[in-house]
Amino acid sequence: MHAVIGTAGHVDHGKSALIQALTGIHPSHLPQEFARGMTIDLGFACLRSPDGDEIGMIDVPGHERFLRNMLSSLWGLDLVLFVVAADEGWSPLSQEHLRVISALGLRQIVVAINKCDLVDEARIAEVEEEILEHFLCECDMLPDIWRVSARSGEGVQALRQGLLARVRSLATASALTAGPHLYIDRVFSVNGIGTTVTGTLRGEGIDVGDVLRLYPGNQLVKVKSIQSYHRARERAQPCSRVAMSFRQLKKESVARGDCLAKPEAGISGSREWVVQLLPGSQLPKKQCELEIALGTSHAQVRCYSLADGQLARLLLSKPLPVFWGQTVLLMTPGGSRMVGAGRVVWSGALNREQRPRLIATLRGAPDGDLASLHCRVQLAVKGYVRGSDALTPPAACHVLEGWWLAEHYLLLALARLNLILQHATSALTQDELAVRGNMPPDMVSALVHEQCAAKCWQLSPEGVSLYGASFSQLNHEQQELLDEISTAGRLCFSAMQHERPRLKQQLKALMEKKYIVPMDDKLFIAREHYQTLLEDIFCESNPGELLSIADVRQRTGLARKQLIPLLNRMERDGWVRREGDLRRVRKSMLAEA
């Protein structure tokens, strides 16, 4: 059983004291928090069940000045413990916290009326009625309510049992999609361990040794060690609090708000988003400056209303990691009040053709299956999407080995790839075709199989080409370049000293046809001249003999500029093996003849 519980509620209503009463651990970790008696940043504790299960607990600041920090805890919660003090009752900040929780779609909520030892029964009943009224109006639900006193211990054991029972009943669907991912809420360095981050892990588990991608910088990092609830682990479980350390990761290169995920996760780090505004969102103006919060991060944004207020285009002050369909909160500058919320339906720049298609797809889109909406958005904007066995492809859609392609995109993609193949001077590998066409490699592979079956293209060991194309003969440009390389003789042709149109493509074609040999990425020699050099060097040498650089220079007459690339080339071809400054001969010309 794994879950994370987070608190919510007004400042000084006893959230931290209640966590200490439930767990025996005070969640505060900053000296100024103890000095002021007020939570400023996120605090953490662990609730252990009689069966040994460990439930994470996050304490949040209740003061409106620290609303940003409160939001940093909510993204990964399974259950909210909403605390209201019996003596003070419901407050405007209680209402603001409830609005935030509702906007994020958190429906698993337990309410604790704290400080019940300070008031009489009539006051407790009055506060309870007030709580139910606000929850019914804001969330259309009636939460379970527990009467407790963190100071006296009254009702704490019953609340603990109620929380554990509620956690056991949670559906496994609470784990988000996008594979394993963790928004970082703390970063520190430990001697002998290195840079360590903490956060709430969602989606799937992570093992020691796993390679993750750090967003938004796209840096690949390897998990060195894992701790969860103060114990070393080989595997971190989803829906739990986790600390991970990494090899060769500088503390300065990671910060709160960054996201760790598997490299294949669908997470982007763009500065331009389109969000579908949720009901109740009211933007101050059609164009306005706001602040957004998602995960454990926040940023200033310029907001533009679209589609009669159904959508908003956000230009962020910095890139933030986000996955499709994630809920983002919109707040006034300074982060003291929420003005709305939205679901991220696009991340990245849109051209003039893509934006109208996106708006048309989303305008009036009903609430419902996000997976279906995601497919429709991707098909409308990008023209393709990975298909899903759980969904039926749209009628005007070409299904191809797990890919769904819009008809208009299929025509454009084939036209682009055909044009690339028409101008190719040699067969192209499928990866080269994907790079030049700016398309996913496995989608290009599926197109290659389909087009080869239709006898439009052909696939050979050398690569993909148009059906019937032959590259055995040299064209005029290739023959002209080969003559120039041959004229250079054993001194080699330097690509750095020539400005010839399509030089790289022509050199590649000559190499594939075995006319020339690359000494390195800049020097090239005609094959017959390379063969002559080998004969000069090895005609008097036997396998096992050692050659010095001076020996090779004497036998070839080459300067150091050509000599070192030649020695490296011979080593790659298996003629010699380097031993310090010498080369040991591995083959003889007689054996190769």
Instruction: Tell me which of 587 and 455 has the higher pLDDT.
Output: 455
CA nearest neighbour of 410 among 377, 447, 375: 447
Report the range out of 81-85, 173-177, 418-422 with the highest average pLDDT.
Answer: 81-85
Fold of 408-466: Arc Repressor Mutant, subunit A (1.10.10)
Radius of gyration of the chain (CA): 33
Question: In Å, how far are 73, 101, 278, 280 from 138, measured between CA atoms?
Answer: 21, 10, 14, 10
CB atoms within 10 A of CB 300: 15
Query: What pLDDT, in 10s, does the model give residues 508-566?
Result: 888 888 889 999 989 999 998 999 899 889 887 888 999 999 999 999 999 988 999 99
CA angle 249, 253, 254 (to 5 degrees): 90
Report the range out of 92-96, 187-191, 388-392 with the highest average pLDDT.
Answer: 92-96
The per-residue pLDDT for 309 is 86
Query: What pLDDT, in 10s, does the model give residues 105-146?
Result: 899 999 999 999 999 999 999 999 999 999 999 999 999 999
**199, two tokens:** 């956060």
395/392 Cα distance (integer angstroms): 9
pTM of the model: 0.73
- Tell me the CATH number for domain 3-174: 3.40.50.300
CATH architecture of the domain 476-592 equals Orthogonal Bundle (1.10)
Instruction: Tell me which of 345 and 364 has the higher pLDDT.
Output: 345
CATH architecture of the domain 181-261 equals Beta Barrel (2.40)
CATH architecture of the domain 269-381 equals Beta Barrel (2.40)
Domains of the chain by residue range: 3-174, 181-261, 269-381, 408-466, 476-592
Query: What pLDDT, in 10s, does the model give residues 270-281?
Result: 899 999 998 888
Query: What pLDDT, in 10s, does the model give residues 317-332?
Result: 999 999 888 999 998 8
Phi-psi region for residue 497, left (φ > 0), alpha (ψ -120 to 50) or beta? Answer: alpha
The yes-or-no verdict on residue 40 having pLDDT over 50 is no
Same-fold call for 181-261 versus 269-381: yes
Query: What pairs with residue 585 in β-bridges?
Result: 576
The DSSP output letter for 148 is -
